[in-house]
Every structure is written in C-alpha cells, then in structure tokens.
Amino acid sequence: MNGQSQALLVGTIFWILLSVETRGLISVSVGATALLPCPSSRNDQDLPHVIEWLRQDRPVPVFIKIGKYPPHVNPHFKGRMSLLSNTATLRIQKVKLEDEGWYECRAYYFKHAVESSNGTLVHPSNGTLTKLYVTAPPAFKSTPPPSTVARVRESLLLQCRVVGKPPPDVTWRKDGWLLQNGENGIKINGGKLLVRSLTTSHRGNYECQGRNPQGQVEHTTSVFVQAPPEITVSPKDLDAKEEQDAFFYCKAEGYPADISYSWFFNGLEVGSCPQLRGRFRTFNDGTFEIESVSKEDTGNISCEAANDFGIAPRVTARLVVQC
Ligand SMILES: *[C@@H]1O[C@H](CO)[C@@H](O)[C@H](O)[C@H]1NC(C)=O
Ligand SMILES: *[C@@H]1O[C@H](CO)[C@@H](O)[C@H](O)[C@H]1NC(C)=O
Ligand SMILES: *[C@@H]1O[C@H](CO)[C@@H](O)[C@H](O)[C@H]1NC(C)=O
C-alpha cells in the first residue's frame, strides 16, 4: 500500500451515501432472472465501496459486498444472487415465489477529502426501495379425468384447480362454446362445474381454461351420459285383411344409441311363437313385418327396445285381422 492510498483510507475519508429514496417495481416470472437496479450506485466500482442489499422483512442484509471481496449472501439466495458485473445492480436467478418483497439498496463509497468540502461522515438514510413482484403463469393443481361416464338424472362435478400469479381466471367451454353460469342447468363457479341432473344434452367435451397475463392452460374432459332407451314412436293399431302383409314400426332413443328391438305376439317373443314361424321379419331400424296375416294373428303386438344400459318398457299395438 503506498502512502497515497493509505491516506485515502486513514485520512479524511468519508462516506458518501448516494442513495435517494425512490421506489420501483420489477415484475419477473417464476424461474426467470430478476435485475434490481441500484440507482444510488456509481459506475465507478474501482472506488472502495460497500454495497448492501436488504430485504424489508429481514433484519440483516441479504447481500453484502465489501470492495472486491466475495460477497456474503443469505443462504436462501445462495448461488442465485450476485451483482451484475461492475455495478450494484442485484441479479437474482431462478426467482422463487418467496423472493417477492421489497428490496433496498445501499451503496457507500469511500472518497478522498480532496473531492469534498469537509470530512463529515454521512450516515446512511434509507436506501433505494424496489418491489420485486414475482409472477407465475397458470398451472393445473388438479384436473378432472380425460373422460367420464355418468347416467341421466345423476349429478356431475368437474373441477379444475388452477394456480398462478396473479390468480388465473377460469372459464369453461362446451364443444367450443363459452358456458355461462346457469346455462342448460350447468352451474359454474370458478374452476367448479356442476350439473345437478344430467340429460343426454350434457354429453360433450368440456374444456376448462386458466388464464392470467403470463399465459394460459387448458384441459378437456369428455362427458358421456348414459341413458336407457325411451320409446319415441310406438307401433300403431292395425286393421288388416287376411293375406295382407302387416307392418309395425317402433323407434327409441338412448345412449349408447345402438338400440336393439324385440317383438312379442300376445306376450310371447315372436321367435318362439310357432304360429308366426317363417312369416315374420324384424329390421334393425325398428320395423316388424308379418307376411300374409290370417284371422288367428289377431292379437297384441309389443315392441321392446334395449341398449347396453337398459330396456324401455314395452309398448303394445292391436292387430285385428278380418276376412
Ligand atoms: C459538511 O458539509 C455538509 C454539506 O456539504 C454541511 O451540511 C455540514 O455542516 C458540513 N460539516 C462541517 C463540520 O462543516
Ligand atoms: C427508514 O425506514 C424505516 C422503516 O422502513 C422508517 O421507519 C424510517 O422512517 C425511514 N427513514 C427515513 C429517513 O426515511
Ligand atoms: C291384449 O292386450 C289387452 C289390453 O292390454 C289385454 O286386455 C288382452 O288380454 C291382451 N290379449 C292377449 C291375448 O294377451
């Protein structure tokens, strides 16, 4: 150490606190790098100096750098906190949600008296305050399954939990259409979608979407509503003449929609009815035909409709054959 630099240190040294209290806001996404400027710093880091960074909720600085010595860093920030080369700007890497808070920068420089008017030691006032605001894009905490099967008149609850900062808005769509609360018996409350009593009209693809300024996420659930068949078209009573062909038609709806029809003559399944052997035909579309009817065919013709999920109650028509 030469005389001059000794004089610099032991002589009329004084602290220059360059900080002015200012407030800034730095917004950074979780995992990214935050740069907190220290307006009170000088560019000339060759001057002997002390840089302190404080967090308002902690009694001791989270970062202290004295001259060219390696900095002291709070364990929470170990390996993530440094100064941007040759400045007092604080760099926080891999930012965590817990890093959010007010940060205060204090920069002190030792200066030779020559450049100042007197040798007063100026005590630091509060430094520069910067708010670090940590944002996070939406992410699902939980989602409903990709598909779900329920029965008519049962209730259905789909729940999407979305986290993020700021808290994401959650919206629901059915088959691409935005759903409003109350629409078609569907209650929507944020990430919750509730149908108290399912009908087949509730079948479809439900998408929940979470969105905040940082981004968006979507999840789709296919909802299948099982319904036993319900007969929508019943066979009609028929007066026929002998040797005519008689036709009956039955139609049912349900889900799954592949419905099979069975026919009965006076309560007996037509296949096991000796009288009709070889004279009837059934069709997948719900048509039943008796060829060349005779007087003995006068009776009750019933239709039954079934899918994998259930059987509709039989409906009956009267066939009357006259000479
Ligand atoms: C030193 O200078 C400051 C401002 O330049 C002044 O307020 C203070 O009174 C001075 N102190 C002495 C001991 O002269
Ligand atoms: C410095 O900050 C403390 C606490 O934040 C406050 O009570 C005090 O008034 C501040 N001092 C100045 C000079 O602004
Ligand atoms: C046909 O149906 C009627 C009315 O449901 C019933 O009274 C009658 O006994 C039935 N006839 C036969 C042969 O099953």
Query: Which ligand 1 atom is at minimum distance from the Cα of 116?
Result: 5
234-322 adopts what CATH topology? Immunoglobulin-like (2.60.40)
* Rounded Cα distance, 266 and 273, in Å: 9
CATH architecture of 144-227: Sandwich (2.60)
Q: Map residue 228 onto helix, strand or coil.
A: strand
What kind and span of H or E run contains 177? strand 177-178
- The verdict on the CB of residue 125 being under 6 Å from ligand 2 is yes
Closest by CA to 318, choosing from 223, 221, 235, 219, is 235
Can you identify the CATH homologous superfamily of domain 3-138? Immunoglobulins (2.60.40.10)
What pLDDT sits at residue 91? 96
Which atom of ligand 3 lies nearest, measured to the CA of 266?
14
Residue 78 corresponds to which tokens in the numbers above? Answer: 């170990």
Using the predicted structure, report yes or no on whether residue 22 has a pLDDT greater than 50.
no
Tell me whether the CATH fold assigned to 144-227 matches the one assigned to 234-322. Answer: yes
pLDDT digits (tens, 9 = 90+) for 38-94: 876 666 556 677 889 999 888 999 999 988 889 999 999 999 999 998 788 999 999
* Ligand 2 near 22 CB (within 6 A): no
Phi, psi for residue 70 in degrees, rounded to 5: -60, 145
The answer to whether 14 touches 119, Cβ cutoff 8 Å, is yes
- The CA distance from 235 to 67, in Å, is 98
Ligand of minimum distance to the alpha carbon of 316: 3
pLDDT tens digit sequence for 269-298 = 999 999 999 999 999 999 999 999 999 999
pLDDT band at 5 (very low <50, low <70, confident <90, very high): very low
**Contacting residues for 2 by C-beta, under 8 A, at least 6 apart:** none
205 C-beta neighbours (distance < 10 Å), count: 13
pLDDT in tens, 88-128: 899 999 999 999 999 998 887 766 433 445 544 443 445 67
**Least-confidence region, from 12-16, 30-34, 236-240:** 12-16
Domain limits of the chain?
3-138, 144-227, 234-322
The pTM of this model reads: 0.63
pLDDT (tens digit per residue) in 159-217:
999 999 999 999 999 999 999 999 999 999 999 999 999 998 999 999 999 999 999 99
Ligand 1 within 6 A of 120 CB? yes
43 Cβ closer than 6 Å to some ligand 1 atom: no
What is the distance, to the nearest Å, from the Cα of residue 232 to the centroid of all Cα atoms in its chain?
40
How much distance in Å is there from the Cα of 120 to the middle of ligand 1?
7
Are 133 and 26 in contact by the 8 Å Cβ rule? The answer is yes
Closest CA to 302 of 274, 323, 277, 273: 273
Instruction: Give the integer Cα–Cα distance in Å for 263 and 278.
Output: 15
| For residues 16-29, average pLDDT | 62
Residue 127 corresponds to which tokens in the numbers above? 């430094």
pLDDT digits (tens, 9 = 90+) for 249-270: 999 998 888 999 999 999 999 9
d(CA 1, CA 4): 8
Q: For residue 16, what pLDDT is reported?
A: 35
Residue 208 CA to chain centroid, in angstroms?
A: 5
